[in-house]
């Protein structure tokens, strides 16, 4: 499903994001990518959603080589990969419902389909009753759930979560992880980037550990080792 071959990303001569990283993630896997701050985890996320381009190597998603993806095709890629971030990245001027609907509107989906899908995904994340609120009127956990709902509207085969619990307390973090597990059970591949030891240990799924831009371990049913 996701295949990285010899990926390196150099920002400057002295600043290395990733160095000769090769990995493969199969359909339906739940993979945690762990490592300390500044080790290259977020660079990996940026490469997967084509926000950055690798200096060397190739990245393919399914049969699609996105290494040299054109500017024109980037929106198409992003509509097929769900992404959630530590800082939620919600549009502050739009309500919960509008934030979720926006991801479908940019893809040219019909009004009928939007009206059908949006309430359903909001229901999945337990926010149907707050659909008319603005992001600032929600707690951090609720905002992250909106972000998850937004990422689900296109039924993505891959969901990339970059430190989704970084700004949340333990209870809210647990809720988010439970939602991600549920999404994974429906067949979506989850790439969870985190440095939260407890979450990784509790999941007992595949863990890829990155240090100084290199993969230092890749093990199934593993624990956080750093």
Q: Of how many residues is the chain composed? A: 226
Alpha helices, DSSP H only, in 1-40? none
Helix residue spans in the chain (DSSP H): 41-48, 74-78, 96-105, 111-124, 140-152, 170-185, 197-203
Residues 53-82 that bind another protein (CB under 8 A): 71-72, 74-79
In a 10 Å sphere around its CB, with 0-12 CB exposed, 13-18 middle and 19+ buried, how is residue 187 labelled?
exposed
- Of residues 89 and 206, the one with the C-beta less far from another protein: 89
Output the smallest distance, CB 89 to another protein, in A: 5
Q: How far is CA 134 from CA 95, 99, 152, 185, in A?
A: 4, 9, 19, 30
Place of tokens 């019909």: 110
Nearer to another protein, 132 or 225 (CB): 132
Position 216 contacts another protein (CB under 8 A): no
Q: How many residues bind another protein (CB under 8 A)?
A: 26
Which residues ranging from 33 to 52 are in contact with another protein (CB under 8 A)? 49, 51
For the bound state, the minimum distance from the C-beta of residue 224 to another protein, rounded and expressed in Å, comes to: 28
Q: How far is the CB of 77 from another protein (least distance, A)?
A: 8
Integer Cα distance of 54 and 52 in angstroms: 7
What is the rounded CA–CA span in Å between residue 153 and residue 151? 6
Q: Within 148-187, which residues bind another protein (CB under 8 A)?
A: 150, 154
- Torsion over CA: 34, 38, 40, 43 (sign): positive
Q: Which is nearer to another protein, 61 or 222 (CB)?
A: 61
CB 84 within 8 A of CB 159: yes
Minimum separation from the CB atom of position 94 to another protein (A):
8
Are 48 and 81 in contact by the 8 Å Cβ rule? The answer is yes
| Contact pattern from residue 79 through residue 118 relative to another protein, giving x for each residue in contact according to CB under 8 A and a dash for the rest | x---x-----xxxxx--------xx-xxxx-xx-------
Shortest reach from residue 144's CB to another protein, in Å: 14
Cβ of residue 148: shortest distance to another protein, in angstroms? Answer: 13
By beta-carbon proximity to another protein, the closer residue of 68 and 197 is 68
Which run of H or E residues covers position 43? helix 41-48
Q: Using CB under 8 A as the criterion, which residues of the chain lie in contact with another protein when the complex forms? A: 49, 51, 71-72, 74-79, 83, 89-93, 102-103, 105-108, 110-111, 150, 154
């Amino acid at each position: 499903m996701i295949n990285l071959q010899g990926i390196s990303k150099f920002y400057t001569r002295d600043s290395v994001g990733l160095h000769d990283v090769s990995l493969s993630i199969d359909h339906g896997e739940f993979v945690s990518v762990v490592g300390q701050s500044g080790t290259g985890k977020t660079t990996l996320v940026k490469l997967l959603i084509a926000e950055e381009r690798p200096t060397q190597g190739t990245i393919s998603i399914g049969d699609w080589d996105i290494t040299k993806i054109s500017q024109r095709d980037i929106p198409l890629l992003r509509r097929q990969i769900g992404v959630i971030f530590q800082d939620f990245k919600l549009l502050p001027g739009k309500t919960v419902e509008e934030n979720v609907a926006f991801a479908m509107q940019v893809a040219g989906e019909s009004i009928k389909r939007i009206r059908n899908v949006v309430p359903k995904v909001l229901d999945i994340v337990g926010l149907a009753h707050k659909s008319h609120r603005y992001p600032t009127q929600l707690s951090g956990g609720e905002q992250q759930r909106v972000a998850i709902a937004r990422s689900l509207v296109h039924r993505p085969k891959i969901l990339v979560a970059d430190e989704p619990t970084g700004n949340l307390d333990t209870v809210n973090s647990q809720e988010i992880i439970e939602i991600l597990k549920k999404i994974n059970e429906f067949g979506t591949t989850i790439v969870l980037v985190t440095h939260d030891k407890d979450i990784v240990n509790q999941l007992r799924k595949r863990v890829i550990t990155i240090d100084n831009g290199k993969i230092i371990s890749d093990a199934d049913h593993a624990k956080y080792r750093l």
